């Protein structure tokens, strides 16, 4: 007998229901577990098949935010905000992306809109934080912010 070893490759696993729904669940779970790089890998394949899928694009924007890829996040969120202007999470995330880039004056309208649409206390706190930072920096007088 020959002493050489053969490398066996396992066949690809195929699970029923693979598609955008499965990719969404997997990517969401990875993001919840703070694994944005792995989520981006899952999302890249799914978005190649369905580039207009809003849910997958929102998750991709979330992963960009988690990895501090703020320019990518901003571009994705601006496109989503244009397509879905009533989405308060997209508005808030866009505002946070701009805030993290120290573009406070640009962030404020998006944060205010998200806070007004959602009534979420975290969204309202973001508005107050950015207003305070703008006033402290002297970029805008406090009276102009109210």
Flag residues of the chain having pLDDT under 50.
10-16
Q: Which domain holds residue 115?
A: 85-146
Q: What is the DSSP letter of 13?
A: P
Q: What is the pLDDT of residue 17?
A: 55
Q: What is the pLDDT of residue 33?
A: 93
How many domains are contained in the chain? 2
Co-location of 100 and 50 in the same domain: no
Residue 35 falls inside a structural domain: yes
Co-location of 58 and 100 in the same domain: no
Q: What is the pLDDT of residue 106?
A: 97
Whole-structure pTM value: 0.82
Co-location of 92 and 145 in the same domain: yes
Q: Long-range contacts: 104-113, Cβ < 8 Å, 24+?
A: 104/130, 104/133, 104/134, 104/137, 104/139, 105/134, 105/139, 105/140, 108/134, 108/145, 110/81, 113/88
Q: Where are the alpha helices (DSSP H) in 20-87?
A: 20-32, 36-49, 54-66, 70-83
Task: Among 67, 96, 124, give the residue marking a domain's end.
Answer: 67
Q: What is the pLDDT of residue 19?
A: 72
């Amino acid at each position: 007998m020959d002493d050489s070893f053969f490398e066996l490759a396992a066949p690809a696993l195929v699970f029923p229901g693979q598609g955008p729904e499965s990719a969404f669940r997997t990517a969401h779970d990875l993001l919840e577990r703070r694994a944005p790089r792995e989520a981006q890998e899952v999302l890249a394949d799914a978005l190649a098949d369905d580039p207009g899928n809003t849910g997958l694009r929102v998750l991709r924007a979330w992963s960009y935010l988690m990895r501090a890829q703020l320019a990518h996040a901003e571009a994705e969120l601006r496109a989503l905000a244009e397509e879905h202007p009533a989405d308060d999470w997209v508005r808030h995330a866009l505002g946070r992306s701009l805030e993290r880039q120290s573009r406070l004056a640009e962030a404020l309208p998006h944060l205010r809109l998200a806070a007004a649409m959602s009534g979420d206390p975290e969204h309202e706190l973001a508005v107050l934080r950015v207003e305070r930072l703008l006033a402290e920096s002297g970029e805008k007088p406090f009276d102009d912010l109210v």
